[in-house]
Structure 1
């Protein structure tokens, strides 16, 4: 069945990070929880680095809709992303959101829809 999601009637919910809110795009139900596609947006100013962590998933991709974010990845170091930029990170990679703009908004797509997040030790790029 075709799935739709409309901005006017969107429901934003709390999630993993308290300073973000999340809007499900209907893909979780449409794929029987195989894929998560949601919009994440800042609800308050960045509280500082979010802590190194990993996700146990098969696929994770982000596309910045508005604002900017600075992220550190264990393999490529710090990168700043702005509206129109994207990244696809490998499974289990250590990373940390260092900061983001007050108007930051991103589409994130993950497989599977449900996955654990684990804290990780800080990366030393020495």
Structure 2
């Protein structure tokens, strides 16, 4: 490894330092990435997972728009758009099932913790749901 001949002129930029942008710059790029916040009636965590892991809003709306426009103008649907939309729909349904399983598991863990820490409080919570 050769030493940096300019290191003496720039303290802190010795051989043990990295050049700018030579490491992980993903945090830097997040500054310029759009962030979508969902404040609708649905589950924000689920919506975020779908947009992040399945298909962005644009990826969902693109095939849908193409199909609607084709139907509205009496044209044949563009090849492959219905398949894209069907694939996205199946992936969204899978994500919803996974999310629902996760919700139940989190509830079970929370109730188990409550039972261990305060059995009387657990009984109160269960009664609230039975009578509520």
TM-score (norm 1): 0.15
Q: Which has the higher strand share?
A: 1
Q: Which has the higher contact order (CA 8 A, sep 6+)?
A: 1
Q: Which has the higher helix share?
A: 2
